[in-house]
Amino acid sequence: MRRPHATLLLTLIVAAGCTQASAPGAPPPAPATSAAVPADPLPSWNDGATRQAIIAFVERVSKEGGADFVPVAERIAVFDNDGTLWSEQPIYFQLQFALDRVKAMAADHPEWKAKQPFKAVLEGDMKGVMASGEPGIFAMVTATHTGMTVDEFGDVVRAWADTARHPKTQRRYTEMVFQPMLEVLAYLRANGFKTYIVSGGGVEFMRPWAEKVYGIPPEQVVGSRGKLKYEVRDGKGVLLKLPDIDLVDDKAGKPVGISQVIGRRPIAAFGNSDGDFEMLEYVTTGPGPRFGLIVHHTDAEREWAYDRESHIGRLVRGLDEAATRKWVLADMKQDWKAIYPPAP
Amino acid sequence: MRRPHATLLLTLIVAAGCTQASAPGAPPPAPATSAAVPADPLPSWNDGATRQAIIAFVERVSKEGGADFVPVAERIAVFDNDGTLWSEQPIYFQLQFALDRVKAMAADHPEWKAKQPFKAVLEGDMKGVMASGEPGIFAMVTATHTGMTVDEFGDVVRAWADTARHPKTQRRYTEMVFQPMLEVLAYLRANGFKTYIVSGGGVEFMRPWAEKVYGIPPEQVVGSRGKLKYEVRDGKGVLLKLPDIDLVDDKAGKPVGISQVIGRRPIAAFGNSDGDFEMLEYVTTGPGPRFGLIVHHTDAEREWAYDRESHIGRLVRGLDEAATRKWVLADMKQDWKAIYPPAP
């Protein structure tokens, strides 16, 4: 792994241990009463400026013959994942996955009992994990995310997503997706949009469950990625995950990932932190109608409240410039009737 | 540009100057009589084993309730571009573009009159161009393909594609696409397939015209690519093309490009050279129904004839192993009623 790239990725992951966000105090929220208003495309959004802005944009670009009509082929919307489509507290869920994997793999690695940061992970000592610094976190990510094929890793992720539960909510992580955002995804798709994830998280960590959870197929997931090596094993072509970073899909890396994979400028972007700033800027400085939205985490009771001072999902520049850039700020506490989908 | 990667890409481009293929002797072919049999999805294919194999595969995977039924979401087909969807003789069309660009840009570069390989290009001395070797070709590709934004480059490519004409056929390069393959693309899409280009050529060279010519949108074009840098110019986010290679999407790089961008194993692959071998292998060694096809250039009269001995589009291992791997060999001379679309 090359150090300059590694630093960026590790910032993404390490910061998770230092969050100052308030913990959620409330039990899982009540289900959104989506059956009450069948014609409402956004039933979990309170009526107000935010909801109206979303609907007004979609109607503008999809009105045939209108001045701001955008052909279906160009209706591309991009969504950050952590903090925008699902929660990201108290640590990025992908970091929790890495910690869980260390525990699950420990039986095959007796040497970890005496080796940091694995020792600290196995002893539940998060301070010790973080004290191992970048080299430690790098060793942990390498041990849990590389050295297997993409397909094998996908099976591991799926098994984890099916069983692991968040320590505070006791929900599966994939049940901590935001119901109002699921409705935005569905509403956009119903109006001809192609919806993409563009996340700092690992692309191979998201693809195994994104289709089931978000309705977003693997080919519409852009994320950070490691290098891959093609090999033939038992006569079958496979892709081996290597411990070298290929793209850090965060900050200025997001427009790069978009250009590489999508190949044209989306017309709508949804984020929640300054890691999404360049993506929002790239999308909303193109010609024609544009839409940018920031999910502002303001609800300490039902989710978490954090922005300027947080080490995870830090939002400073986005708050300062949203108004002048005409980006919509979605206030979680005010705008959302429900946070998560109904308990399963 | 890192040398190990550069070498691979340059092999792709330089080889073009050394082709041993026979030149086309015939005028542009007569249009396919596509109106004769309206119900025929492949009117430019002669009836025979190749045509039947294509249709049998598509019917197998799309027959609901059938043993080999494949859900629409998984019906992904990948196509090489050079030599598979359009011609590639006597030099890769992208190399011709680079040569044309050197000529077009020469007025702004008076120093090129005395600097190889630019001097040789301007004097029409192809031997001199090739004699400049990898460093020379690298300088030419860098000068013509980088240092501008992705959008600016797209405009340049579009202008070239609209005007430049092939020296032998006098057709526009985008009119030297293979009519039978256009029919395969349309037939697959009509049966729920998502069609992708996966080419050793530059992704930003293909995207500007692939939608118009092949019906393949930018987000379904995978290719070799340089590194990009996000910048803000006059308040607008842009992506600058850098002179460093990010992916050589050829040979073992093709499954890598597929995994990065598509994120799942396609079920059908179409190629023409050993540069497509690993892609065909990766696609056809997955579980369930699989289809691999190699376009064999056998028609010296209507197109070009080349395989084992050619320095461009060399096909050795593909010919040797097609039968055991159950890949279909499409014999251009025998299987295709027409090569190119009707003259416009």
Contacts of B264 in chain A (CB under 8 A): 207, 218-219
Whether residue B240 lies within 8 A of chain A, CB to CB, comes out as no
Region A208-235 average pLDDT: 98
Task: Mean pLDDT check: name the lowest of A18-27, A100-109, B191-200, B322-331.
Answer: A18-27
Confidence of residue B343 (pLDDT cuts 50, 70, 90): confident
| Token pair 């692959």 in the structure block, residue | B269
Region B256-275 average pLDDT: 98
Please tell me the distance in Å from A237's CA to the nearest CA on chain B.
Answer: 5
Does residue A266 carry a pLDDT above 60? yes
Whether residue B152 lies within 8 A of chain A, CB to CB, comes out as no
State the pLDDT at residue A25. Answer: 43
With a CB cutoff of 8 Å and minimum separation 6, the contacts of A18 are: A130, A311, A312
Contacts of B221 in chain A (CB under 8 A): 263
State the pLDDT at residue B344. Answer: 76
| Token pair 């084993």 in the structure block, residue | B49
How far apart CA A244 and CA A6 sit, in angstroms, is 9
Burial of A195 (0-12, 13-18, 19+ CB in 10 A): buried
State the pLDDT at residue B327. Answer: 98
How far apart CA A147 and CA B45 sit, in angstroms, is 45
Note the pLDDT tens digit of each residue in B136-175: 888 999 999 999 999 999 999 999 999 999 999 999 999 9
Q: Pick B225's closest partner by Cβ from A73, A260, A278.
A: A260
Q: Regarding predicted confidence, which is higher, A11 or A104? A: A104
Confidence of residue B133 (pLDDT cuts 50, 70, 90): confident
State the pLDDT at residue A344. Answer: 76
Assigned token pair, B74 = 């998984």
Q: What is the DSSP string of B162-181?
A: HH-B-TTT-SBGGG-B-HHH
State the pLDDT at residue A305. Answer: 98
Does residue A311 carry a pLDDT above 70? yes
Does residue B323 carry a pLDDT above 90? yes
Kind and range of the H or E run holding A194? strand A194-202
CB distance B232–A281 less than 8 Å?
yes
Note the pLDDT tens digit of each residue in A31-54: 444 444 457 999 999 999 999 999
- Could you give the 3-state DSSP secondary structure of residue B91? coil
Region B284-297 average pLDDT: 98
Region A50-64 average pLDDT: 98
Contacts of A216 in chain B (CB under 8 A): none
Average pLDDT score, chain A:
91
Q: Pick A263's closest partner by Cβ from B207, B235, B285.
A: B207
Give the percent of chain B with pLDDT over 90. Answer: 85
Assigned token pair, B129 = 């161009």
Confidence of residue A20 (pLDDT cuts 50, 70, 90): very low
Whether residue A158 lies within 8 A of chain B, CB to CB, comes out as no
Assigned token pair, A242 = 């290597």
Confidence of residue B31 (pLDDT cuts 50, 70, 90): very low
Cβ contact A219:B262 at 8 Å: yes
Does residue A174 carry a pLDDT above 60? yes
DSSP class of A219? G
Please tell me the distance in Å from A199's CA to the nearest CA on chain B.
Answer: 14
State the pLDDT at residue B36. Answer: 46
Average pLDDT score, chain B:
91
Region B72-100 average pLDDT: 97
State the pLDDT at residue B183. Answer: 98
With a CB cutoff of 8 Å and minimum separation 6, the contacts of B78 are: B195, B196, B197, B198, B222, B258, B262, B266, B268, B269, B270, B279, B283
Whether residue B236 lies within 8 A of chain A, CB to CB, comes out as yes
Region A257-261 average pLDDT: 98
How far apart CA B116 and CA B139 sit, in angstroms, is 9
Note the pLDDT tens digit of each residue in A332-341: 999 999 999 9
The strand pairing partners of B197, in sequence order, are B79, B221
Whether residue B150 lies within 8 A of chain A, CB to CB, comes out as yes
State the pLDDT at residue A137. Answer: 84
Cβ contact A263:A78 at 8 Å: no
- Could you give the 3-state DSSP secondary structure of residue B156? helix
Does residue A164 carry a pLDDT above 50? yes
How far apart CA B305 and CA B297 sit, in angstroms, is 5
> Which runs of consecutive H residues, i.e. helices, occur in B15-110?
49-62, 93-105
Q: Pick A285's closest partner by Cβ from B228, B235, B259.
A: B235
Whether residue A8 lies within 8 A of chain B, CB to CB, comes out as no
Region B329-341 average pLDDT: 98
Assigned token pair, A130 = 């973080």
- Helices (H) and strands (E) counted in chain B, each on its own, are 13, 7
Does residue A21 carry a pLDDT above 80? no
Region A237-261 average pLDDT: 97
User: Degrees (nearest 5) of the Cα angle B199, A201, A222?
Assistant: 30
- Could you give the 3-state DSSP secondary structure of residue A290? coil
How far apart CA A140 and CA B268 sit, in angstroms, is 37
Does residue B186 carry a pLDDT above 50? yes
Does residue A2 carry a pLDDT above 90? no
Whether residue A228 lies within 8 A of chain B, CB to CB, comes out as yes
- In 10 A of CB A225, how many CB atoms? 19
